[in-house]
Chains A and B, each alone.
Chain A
Amino acid sequence: MESETISVEMFNEFVQVAELELTPEESKSIREKMNEQLRVIHELESIPLDEQLAPVIHGNPYPRDIQAPLREDIWKPFENTQGIIDQAPRSQDGYIVSPDVPHQKLG
Chain B
Amino acid sequence: MTQEYIATIGLETHIQLNTNTKAFCSCKADSWGDAPNTNICPICTGQPGALPSTNQAMVEKALMLCLAMNSDINMDSFFDRKNYLYADLPGGYQVTQNDRSIGRGGYFDFLMDDGREVRCHIHNLHMEEDAGKTKNEGNIRLIDMNRCGVPLVEMVTMPDLHSADEAATYLTRLRQLLRWLGISEANMEKAHLRCDANVSIAPKGSTELGKKCEIKNINSIEAVRMAINYEIERQIREINAGNKIEQWTIEWDNDTQELRKMRSKETAADYRYFREPNLMPVHISEEFLESIKNKMPELPIQRRERFISEMGLPSYDATVLTADRDTSDFFEAVCNIYDGDNKRVSNWMMNEVLRITNETGCAVSELKITAQDLADIIHMVDQKTINTTTGKNLVDMVQSSGKRPQLLVEEHGLGLVSDDSAIRAMCTKIVSDNPKEAASYRNGKESLIGWFVGQVMREMRGKADPEKAKAILLELLKTD
Contacts and interface: CB of A to CB of B under 8 A. Distances in A.
Contacts, number: 125
Contacts of A81: 37-41
A17 B84 CA distance: 8
B143 A84 contact: no
Contacts of B251: 103
Interface-central residue, A62, A71, A94, A99, by most chain B CB under 10 Å: A71
Contacts of A67: 280
Given A57-B275, A57-B277, A71-B55, A98 B262 contact: no
B20 A94 contact: no
Nearest to B53: A71
A97 interface: yes
B37 A96 contact: yes
Contacts of A94: 35-38, 144
A33 interface: no
A73 B38 contact: no
B283 interface: yes
A58 B262 contact: no
Nearest to A85: B37
B289 interface: no
A98 B138 CA distance: 11
A84 B57 contact: no
B393 interface: no
Contacts of B41: 77-78, 81, 84
Interface in A54-107: 57-58, 62, 64, 67-78, 81, 84-85, 92-107
Contact of A95 (B53, B144, B248, B262): B144
B258 interface: yes
Interface residues of B, number: 54
Given A84-B47, A94-B38, A98-B140, A75 B234 contact: no
Given A73-B19, A75-B27, A106-B261, A96 B56 contact: no
Contacts of B262: 103-104
Given A70-B54, A84-B42, A99 B250 contact: no
Interface in B27-52: 27-28, 35-42, 45, 47
Contacts of B37: 81, 84-85, 94-96
A56 to B, nearest CB: 9
Contacts of A106: 234, 248, 250, 258-261
B139 A74 contact: no
Contact of B280 (A62, A95, A97, A98): A62
Nearest to A78: B41
B306 interface: no
A44 B135 CA distance: 46
Nearest to B26: A76
B87 A64 contact: no
A81 B42 CA distance: 8
Contact of B263 (A57, A93, A101): A101
A70 B56 contact: yes
Nearest to A71: B53
A25 interface: no
Contact of B55 (A70, A95, A105): A70
A64 B135 CA distance: 44
A71 B250 contact: no
Contacts of B443: none
B36 A100 contact: no
B38 A17 contact: no
Given A70-B54, A81-B38, A101-B263, A96 B142 contact: yes
Contacts of B42: 78, 84
Contact of A75 (B26, B40, B260, B261): B26
Given A92-B142, A103-B263, A105-B258, A71 B54 contact: yes
B85 interface: yes
Contact of B139 (A85, A99, A107): A99
Contacts of B57: 73
A73 B280 contact: no
B59 interface: yes
A77 B251 CA distance: 34
A101 B28 contact: no
Contact of B45 (A68, A74, A84): A84
A81 B259 CA distance: 37
A81 B134 CA distance: 18
Interface of B: 19-21, 26-28, 35-42, 45, 47, 53-59, 78, 85-87, 134-136, 139-145, 234, 248, 250-251, 258-263, 268, 270, 275, 277, 280-281, 283
Ranked nearest first, the 10 interchain pairs of A and B with the lowest CB-CB distance are A78-B41, A95-B142, A70-B56, A73-B57, A76-B26, A96-B143, A94-B36, A98-B87, A106-B261, A98-B141
29 contacts: A57-B78, A70-B55, A71-B53, A71-B54, A73-B21, A73-B56, A74-B20, A78-B27, A78-B41, A84-B40, A84-B45, A85-B37, A94-B38, A95-B135, A95-B142, A96-B87, A96-B142, A97-B142, A97-B143, A98-B134, A98-B141, A98-B143, A99-B139, A99-B141, A100-B139, A100-B140, A100-B141, A104-B260, A105-B260
